[in-house]
């Protein structure tokens, strides 16, 4: 298979600064070789031009992330491969749609051309880049309000307009449909290669219990600390050709520079990607959200629902909700989310209910509160992990509570509660 044309550093620099002419130059230089690659990987070579066009649209969207020509070349090669995989999946879904809707098989894409000239292919890309913004909500309303009969009448009226009007309308509609289609495929399939690797039946799974943490050295040399009550799933293919793992819980990463191979952490809400950097992730199932903190370098966070993506630098935080919404992490919540990575448990003005859950997670303690009204009482905790005495002292002081043992159980009561509770511990707390 012919190799792509070496990418000039000046072209890369101009591309990173948003120069569309640099994108066109890159496209024209590499389109023939990448189209050959796509045709070789597809069942239907007629869709190869669309796959390559999609790869360059992604390059334009992510242009700021490419620091070397090699990284850009690797991205193009990978995008074409993954685009071919997505296209196969899309066409299978389309076949099911045709059967359900009674559409004659093979009509969609009938005019695709396997060897589309580079000028025509670039015209498609340029049309999409310059297409007006699409109001997805409006499109949905129109689709809901108009019947198929009304749509047919509208098409008939279009046919009566001047000859140049219909092609322009069709070109804009196709550009919009292609853009929305690309977004839908990304949202529905995500990173196909990563998802495929993480679906392997041979995943290596590491689980920690409450009160336990684990240090791991991955096969690429990266280091991870798995937080308490967490699960990390690592595919057998980790390292080559990709570095990807799944996380439920909390973990801290020091990523070995992988050159053109990003390091991916998938959570239920987000895909976190880096090359060589240090960051922390918190994504406990009960929280239904993912929080990310960057300690060194840069990290890209992409919501698995919706289209939002953020690039974070050292010192940045972000939260991704269950529906893909992204927001900054409030200052008073940052320590509570990530203090464990610094070997501490920190809560500021949080309800006792939350402190008890965190104490169970990070200390392995089961604290009982007979008076449920106390669970909403705010407490402050700032202690080293493992220092049970300091934890209990902070809870007592800030929450106006008293700690004791009842029938070998650890109990917290209101300081004014005079019911008997021995202070002699059945199992001596550490420190």
109 close to 77: Cβ distance less than 8 angstroms: no
Domains 202-335 and 343-414 agree in fold: no
Q: Measured between alpha carbons, how far is 324 from 270 in angstroms, rounded to an integer?
A: 8
303 close to 267: Cβ distance less than 8 angstroms: no
- Over residues 267-322, the pLDDT tens digits come to 999 999 998 899 999 999 988 999 999 999 999 999 988 888 999 999 999 999 99
Counting other chains too, the contacts that 215-219 makes at CB distance below 8 Å and 24 or more residues apart are 218/243, 218/245
Give the predicted TM-score (pTM) of the model. Answer: 0.56
Counting other chains too, the contacts that 216-220 makes at CB distance below 8 Å and 24 or more residues apart are 218/243, 218/245, 220/256, 220/258, 220/261, 220/263
223 close to 215: Cβ distance less than 8 angstroms: yes
Domain 202-335 of CATH type 2.60.120.1440: yes
- Over residues 72-122, the pLDDT tens digits come to 988 899 888 888 887 776 666 566 555 554 545 544 343 455 678 898 889
pLDDT at residue 173 in the model: 54
Beta strand extents in 255-316 (DSSP E only) = 263-266, 270-274, 278-283, 290-296, 298-303, 309-313
What is the percent of the chain where pLDDT is above 70? 75
Residue-range domain boundaries for the chain:
9-192, 202-335, 343-414
50 close to 87: Cβ distance less than 8 angstroms: yes
Q: What is the mean pLDDT of the chain?
A: 81
What is the percent of the chain where pLDDT is above 90? 47
Pick from 178-182, 305-309, 403-407: least confident: 178-182
Q: Is the pLDDT of residue 397 over 60?
A: yes
pLDDT at residue 193 in the model: 73
Q: Is the pLDDT of residue 368 over 90?
A: yes
Tokens 């399939």 correspond to 189
Q: What is the DSSP string of 340-354?
A: GGGTEEEEEEEEHHH
Q: Measured between alpha carbons, how far is 81 from 90 in angstroms, rounded to an integer?
A: 14
- Over residues 33-79, the pLDDT tens digits come to 999 999 999 888 888 898 899 889 888 888 887 888 888 988 899 88
Pick from 275-279, 320-324, 345-349, 425-429: least confident: 425-429
> 343-414 has which CATH code?
3.55.50.30
């Amino acid at each position: 298979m012919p190799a792509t044309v070496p990418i000039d550093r000046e072209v890369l620099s101009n591309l990173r600064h948003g120069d569309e002419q640099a994108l066109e130059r890159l496209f024209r230089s590499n389109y023939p070789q990448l189209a050959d690659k796509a045709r070789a990987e597809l069942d239907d070579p007629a869709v190869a031009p669309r796959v390559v066009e999609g790869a360059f649209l992604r390059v334009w969207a992510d242009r700021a992330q490419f620091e070397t020509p090699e990284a850009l070349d690797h991205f193009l090669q990978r995008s074409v491969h993954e685009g071919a995989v997505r296209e196969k999946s899309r066409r299978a879904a389309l076949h099911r749609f045709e059967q359900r809707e009674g559409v004659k098989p093979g009509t969609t894409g009938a005019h695709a051309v396997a060897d589309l000239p580079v000028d025509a292919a670039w015209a498609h890309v340029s049309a999409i880049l310059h297409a007006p913004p699409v109001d997805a909500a409006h499109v949905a309303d129109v689709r809901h309000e108009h019947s198929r009969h009304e749509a047919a009448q509208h098409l008939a009226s279009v046919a009566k307009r001047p000859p140049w009007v219909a092609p322009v309308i069709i070109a804009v509609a196709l550009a919009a449909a292609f853009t929305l289609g690309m977004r839908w495929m990304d949202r529905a399939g995500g990173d196909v290669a990563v998802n495929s690797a993480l679906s392997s039946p041979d995943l290596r799974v590491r689980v920690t219990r409450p009160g336990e943490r684990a240090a791991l050295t991955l096969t690429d040399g990266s280091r991870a600390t798995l937080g308490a009550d967490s699960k990390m799933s690592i595919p057998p293919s980790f390292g080559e050709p990709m570095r990807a793992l799944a996380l439920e819980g909390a973990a801290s990463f020091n990523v070995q520079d992988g050159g053109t191979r990003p390091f991916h952490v998938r959570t239920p809400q987000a895909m976190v990607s880096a090359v060589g950097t240090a960051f922390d992730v918190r994504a406990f199932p009960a929280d239904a959200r993912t929080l990310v903190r960057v300690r060194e370098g840069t990290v890209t966070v992409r919501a698995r629902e919706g289209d939002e993506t953020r690039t974070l630098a050292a010192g940045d935080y972000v939260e991704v909700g269950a529906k893909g919404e992204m927001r900054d992490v409030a200052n008073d919540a940052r320590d509570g989310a990530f203090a464990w990575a610094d070997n501490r448990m920190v809560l500021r003005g949080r309800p006792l209910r939350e402190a008890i859950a965190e104490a169970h997670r990070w200390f392995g303690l089961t604290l009982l509160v007979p008076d449920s009204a106390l669970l909403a009482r705010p407490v402050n905790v700032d202690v080293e992990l493992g220092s049970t005495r300091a934890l209990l002292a902070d809870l007592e002081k800030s929450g106006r509570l008293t700690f004791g043992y009842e029938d070998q159980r650890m109990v917290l009561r209101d300081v004014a509660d005079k019911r008997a509770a021995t202070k002699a511990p059945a199992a001596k707390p550490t420190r």
